[in-house]
Structure 1
Amino acid sequence: MKFKITILFIVFISTLSIAQSKVGTINSEYIISIMPQTKIVVEKTQDYGAKLDSSFSIKAKDYEDKVADFRKNEAEYGELMKKTLVNEITSMEQELKKYQENGNKLMQLKQNELMRPLYKLLNDAIEQVSKENKYTQVLTTSGNQFAYLDEKFDITQLVMNKLGVKAPVEVKE
């Protein structure tokens, strides 16, 4: 008799512990993409990119001028002068490539810096919604593939409401 009661007690406790777990899903990238602050981040990133591009354009123009001058006057140069100019042009070309790579890295860093507050805001809203609705886990659907998702556990709309973000209206043709 004690054995049956113990088994029933274990089954009851395990059922109780399973019932306490509540998992939700969220499409965080969707929310970030429609937040009004994202447009400001995009504008600031584009402005920063334009500044980098103008500096790059100056360096590229200098390089192109140097190459054009070399091609135009190549017949007049001696061997030593040709080698010196080829080395100089090669060096400029490598500098341009490095500048471009660094520019791409700087753009990514700037974008990350500007997006960080948005992700913080989103994470705070997710945490509040999760606590209010007693979710023990929230999984993001962005970039992941799931075999099955029950829409009733998707908290995307709840978080959007918390942030005051409205979904764009779809125009039907």
Structure 2
Amino acid sequence: MKFKITLFLIAFISISLNAQSKVGTVNSDYIINIMPEAKTVVTLSQAYATKLDSSFSIKVKDYKAKIADYKSKEKEMGELMKKTTQKELVALDQDIQKYQENGNKLMQLKRDELMRPLYKKLSNAIAEVAKANGYTQILTTSGNEFAYIDEKFDITELVIKKLGITVPKQTKE
């Protein structure tokens, strides 16, 4: 019986020692920002924003023209006409606000759509570097608050090399 318990303890201890995890860190935001594809994403996002902004500008211009028209003719209008015009102006104002909210949501969706391939590429590179170096867990340093991180477990440079990115001298951290 003692032999079985001793054997069980030895097996448990050896499994526990082999199950040690190796944790590393990576600064994913830094890598994303220096990826050459990030410039393309910014350009495409700005073009999409310009397209949305031009439509928004037309709506605002129309709204301002109707307000100016209302103000110039307000004294000549009857009560019913004033109320009808005011309702139209309020409806236009609400429409503009909704359009602006939708535009912000559309911009975020477009940016997410454009960034998705970059995050996938980064994720694949992190996974390859982690497996090649025996890491069991990789934590991102961007967005998290760590009290202490040992630099020898930071794989940011390894991932940058894996992706073939040249680090600009002025932005290197």
Identity of aligned residues (%): 58
Deviation at 1:9, TM superposition (A): 5.5
Deviation at 1:7, TM superposition (A): 5.0
Deviation at 1:154, TM superposition (A): 0.5
| CA displacement 1:85-117 (0-9 Å, x = unmatched) | 000000000000000000000000000000000
Deviation at 1:68, TM superposition (A): 0.8
- What is the aligned partner in structure 1 of residue 19 from structure 2? 17
Mapped pair 1:95 → 2:95? yes
CA distance in 2, matches of 1:170, 1:52: 34
- What is the aligned partner in structure 2 of residue 75 from structure 1? 75
Q: Hey, which bits of structure 1, 4+ residues long, moved more than 3 A?
A: 1-13
- What is the aligned partner in structure 1 of residue 40 from structure 2? 40
With the length of structure 2 as denominator, give the TM-score of the two structures: 0.91
Deviation at 1:15, TM superposition (A): 2.6
CA distance in 2, matches of 1:166, 1:72: 62
CA distance in 1, matches of 2:11, 2:82: 91
With the length of structure 1 as denominator, give the TM-score of the two structures: 0.91
CA distance in 1, matches of 2:7, 2:104: 67
- What is the aligned partner in structure 1 of residue 65 from structure 2? 65
Q: Unpaired runs of 5+ in structure 1?
A: none
- What is the aligned partner in structure 2 of residue 55 from structure 1? 55
| CA displacement 1:115-141 (0-9 Å, x = unmatched) | 000011101111111111111111111
Deviation at 1:51, TM superposition (A): 0.5
Q: Summarize the alignment of residues 1-173 of structure 1 with structure 2, pairs less than 5 Å apart.
A: 2=3, 10-18=12-20, 21-170=21-170
CA distance in 2, matches of 1:9, 1:63: 78
Query: Quick one: which amino acid aligns to residue 50 of structure 2?
Result: A
Q: Unpaired runs of 5+ in structure 2?
A: none
Q: Structure 1 71/154 Cα, relative in aligned 2: closer, same or farther at 3 Å?
A: same
CA distance in 1, matches of 2:94, 2:107: 20
Residues paired across the two proteins, number: 169
SS at match of 1:123: helix
Cα RMSD (Å) of the superposition? Answer: 1.7
| CA displacement 1:14-48 (0-9 Å, x = unmatched) | 23322xx2111001011001111001000000000
SS at match of 2:139: strand
Query: Quick one: which amino acid aligns to residue 19 of structure 2?
Result: S
